[in-house]
Amino acid sequence: MPSWLDTSRRADHWKAADESGRVECTLCPRHCKPRSGQFGFCRVRGNVDGALQTFNYGKSVAATEEVIETEAVYHFSPGRRILSLGNIGCMMACDFCQNWSTSQVRHLDPAVVKFYSPEQILEICREHDIRMISWTYNDPVVWHEFVRDTSRLAQKQGIRTLYKSAFYIEEEPARELVECIDIFSLSLKSMNEAFHRQVTKAELGPMLERAKLVHRSGRHVEISQLVVPQFNDRMDDVAKTARWVLDHLGEEVPLHFVAFHPAYKYVHVGRTPLETLLEAREVARREGIRHCYLGNVYREGLSDTRCGSCGHLQVARFGLTSTVVGIRPDGACAGCGRAAPIRFPFEGLSPARAESDETLPARRERLYRWTPEVRSVHLVAAEAAPSAEVTVQHQGIRQIDRIRLGGGLERAIVSRAGEEDREIHVSWNHDGEIRILPVLDRAHFPVTDQVADAVYRPLAASTPAAESL
């Protein structure tokens, strides 16, 4: 298998910086100026003989079937199946990064890198009847050229795209994305400038300006903030976020407060207490936010959508599972007739995941019990395995998920679907192995089946390839 460093292509958004051969990258606000033979901060864009090259075009972690709620998007096609893809490298370096083993290139295991063309991504979508692509996991900003090219192609074929990002990006490339991305799920992290300099190694101002740009464009946008104990969990910080959303994006834009799990360098605290998230939601509501949701929380009734006029339940949610229960076929509230805030509420309904007693013939099977730490998993088929028809029976509730792996799709997410869902029975129709990898956070891409490996461990020194070209 070729190394991910073996191939590159000319990057966009850069200029010659000086006569010494430096170039200036103008993709993100860092404006790195690497000399020939050096990478910028992201470690995936570098200077080759006086020209900026991108080394991660088409290079991704494995394409994964997930659901739109994975991306902190609740007001667009609830329950929609999406094809999630994540790159390598990042323009930030958050101390609590949940995907540090791929975002921070010095820790990268080249074995997890897959190679795709834009056409192959669209073929996976067609093969599996998936009508939305999500650019996620590691922040997709430094994957700009591939994201833009594939999204333009998807747009021509009627496949929507979703962009999950802190959006630390300059205005010109941001405008390119607004032209070809349908949904933006933007993470503000904190309204504290010092927090960003210390913890994310980035600046707050450009992120806020780009969020406003997206909102002005009319594209669908939702905002999330990871609530990290002892970092940004003070209620005055929460109130600042809510007020900024109200002042610049409006009261109808959903705001998500997301539970943190210990990761990377920030493991001396526990998960975000539910009480903190509940308090954050109340603070946001008092400020005037109409739709405030809690992420990474598996409790009934905590992230439902209700009518702002009559309080009628419109979408019931448990974790990553959504059910449209109170919206009329014309998109209005079933209680009072006012227009519901959910766009395309019935497009996400999938016959592959529904209540049923029907099972398929199986040759192998496994049982997996949910724990307080793990409420979602990736089912992973071996890369060379034949097409696998997988049946997932949720024990304790009447739900069976049917998943087809193969045809370029190696992974699919399965989540705890209700309070009585204690374990899942996974069976499949061939002799190959199906691995079950714990997902610790809805945006976490697991590369191992060991939960402990998802947090920071002292690692070997950076490889020379990660530091220079």
Query: What residue ranges define each of the domains in the chain, with the CATH number in brackets?
Result: 9-55 (no CATH), 59-297 (3.20.20.70), 353-439 (2.60.290)
The type of residue at 249 is: L
Euclidean distance between the first and the last CA atom of the chain, given in angstroms as a whole number:
19
Please report how many Cα atoms fall inside a 13 Å half-sphere around the Cα of residue 469, on the Cβ side.
Answer: 21
What predicted TM-score, i.e. pTM, was given to this entire model?
Answer: 0.92
| Angstrom distance (rounded) from CA 62 to CA 291 | 33
Judged by DSSP in three states, 127 sits in: helix
324-356, pLDDT tens digit by residue? 999 999 999 999 999 999 999 999 865 445 444
Place of tokens 């192609």: 153
Crossing angle of helices 235-248/274-287, nearest 10°? 40
Do 408 and 120 touch, CB atoms closer than 8 A? Answer: yes
**Can you tell me the distance from the alpha carbon of 249 to that of 245, in angstroms, rounded to the nearest whole number?**
5
How far, CA to CA in Å, does 118 sit from each of 5, 67, 89? 19, 21, 19
Residue 457: per-residue pLDDT = 39
CA–CA distance, 117 with 37 (Å, rounded to integer): 26
CB atoms within 10 A of CB 277: 24
What confidence score (pLDDT) does residue 361 get? 61
How much is the pLDDT for 467?
A: 36
Q: Which amino acid is at 145?
A: E
C-beta neighbour count of 356 within 10 angstroms: 14
Contact 413, 65 (CB under 8 A): yes
- Pick the closest to residue 421 from 370, 362, 368 (CA basis): 370
What values do phi and psi take at 320, rounded to 5? -100, 5
Q: Which residues pair with 321 in a beta bridge?
A: 318
CA distance linking residue 266 with residue 270, whole number of Å: 10
The DSSP bridge partners found for residue 305 are 315
Q: Which helix (H) or strand (E) holds 435?
A: strand 434-439
- Cα torsion at 245, 239, 71, 218 (round to 10°)? 0
pLDDT at 163: 98
Measured between alpha carbons, how far is 376 from 325 in angstroms, rounded to an integer? Answer: 24
Q: Which of 40, 39, 37 is nearest to 20 (CA)?
A: 37
| Measured CA angle at 390 (ends 388, 391), to 5 deg | 160
The first and second tokens of residue 318, run together, are: 């448990």
Q: Can you give the pLDDT at residue 21? A: 87
Spans of the chain below 50 pLDDT: 1, 351-352, 354-356, 452-469
Cβ(325)–Cβ(314) under 8 Å?
Answer: yes
Of the candidates 185, 268, 264, the residue with the CA atom closest to the CA atom of residue 225: 185
User: Cβ(138)–Cβ(89) under 8 Å?
Assistant: yes
* Contact present, 320 and 415 (Cβ < 8 Å): yes
Tokens for 295?
A: 């992420």
Q: Which amino acid is at 245?
A: V
- Given this model, what pLDDT does residue 355 score? 46
**Positions of E strands within 138-191:** 160-165, 183-187
